[in-house]
Amino acid sequence: MNYEVEIGHAKRARRVYSFDDIGVVPGRRTRDPELVSTAWSIDAFNFEIPVLAAPMDSVTSPETAIAIGNMGGLGVLNLEGLWTRHENPENIFKQLAEVTDERAAVQKMREFYSAPIKPELIRDRLAQVRDAGVTVAGSLSPHRTAEHYETVVGAGVDLFVIRGNNVSAEHVSHAERESLNLKRFIYELDVPVIVGGAVTYRSAMHLMRTGAAGVLVGFGGGASSSTRATLGVRAPMATALADVAGARGHYLDESGGRYVHIIADGGLGTSGDIVKAIACGADAVMLGSLLARATEAPGMGWHWGQEAHHENLPRGRRINVGSLVPLQEIINGPAVFADGLANLMGALRYAMATTGYSDLKKFQRIDIVHAVK
């Protein structure tokens, strides 16, 4: 089968697929939703639902990380955001929510994010989550990791996330900064590390060989991203996940049985997208805009990522996520409308039950169809 199309005499392009291009296929049996398990585990940590709250200021505060943890998921704190730059950021979130002009909002965000990251706030925010008795996870970008990781580990983090639009096995920094060699870094660290994003077989293999416990799959493709418009970069998630799942299988053989978890991070706009992500090989999903709709979310109806306030080239935007609903309703329902924006785990259970699968690993084997347009 030919997976390439000719763009012109000098260039061919690979045919790839987004979640909108595919669907899952019912099998020969069905089962009751109550007989379906959505449990997921990574390293020594077990979760009832395969959901990570994205390390984005508009999504995850210490309070929402605790709430997600109590629901059986994992909240990941952004350790270079407003929560670690300001002692009392609640007023800052309120100020941002009141600004409707986008140019003014970007200027405000640049002002607030220009404050230095305070190690004592990293320690205090992580301690707040740890004291609640849930799994503690924090995230840094590659160029901040070497500077702050000792504070993070010293604060008692359980899972360490290194997250960026594109994370490589060795990040080359400015001459004044220490370069991050992931393989050496992970080897010397005492906690499991999740790294990403990666969107190709080759990049995923490189990250798996560093010793990472999990790989984030995505390239700034979330609702608040404008990477496609500003950089011309696009990585449809169905193909990206299938490619990285292929790398996981080959690395499993290469390493003699070491399983690296795949976490879909981007392009997840509805519960149906979560179903398709797992069907393409994901073990769990990292959610941003879907959780930013929660009444408990710190963004107060607005959603943005780190790229939205970049000092030179914003590659994201602040978006209004619409009407707010309780976090419990988003995760476990009951849903009021049939729009795929609430009861996300109920939808996943029903999809698995309808197609006859009892757990997430088995559901990864489901048949997928592509609808030719």
Which pLDDT does position 345 carry in this prediction?
Answer: 98
| Cα–Cα distance, 151 to 153 (Å, whole number) | 6
Q: What's the predicted TM-score (pTM) here?
A: 0.93
pLDDT in tens, 63-77: 999 999 999 999 999
CB-based contact 23:276 (threshold 8 Å): yes
CB-based contact 279:368 (threshold 8 Å): yes
Sketch the domain layout of the chain as residue ranges: 21-370
Mean pLDDT of 278-295: 97
Query: Helix 344-355 vs helix 271-279: angle between axes, to the nearest 10 degrees?
Result: 50
Q: Please report where in the chains the tokens 């976090």 appear, as a residue.
A: 327
H or E element that contains 227? helix 227-231
Which pLDDT does position 323 carry in this prediction?
Answer: 87
Look up residue 254 and give its amino acid: E
Mean pLDDT of 173-180: 57
pLDDT in tens, 200-247: 999 999 999 999 999 999 976 555 566 666 777 778 999 999 999 999
The domain defined by 21-370 folds into TIM Barrel (3.20.20)
Read off φ and ψ for residue 235, nearest 5 degrees.
-140, 85
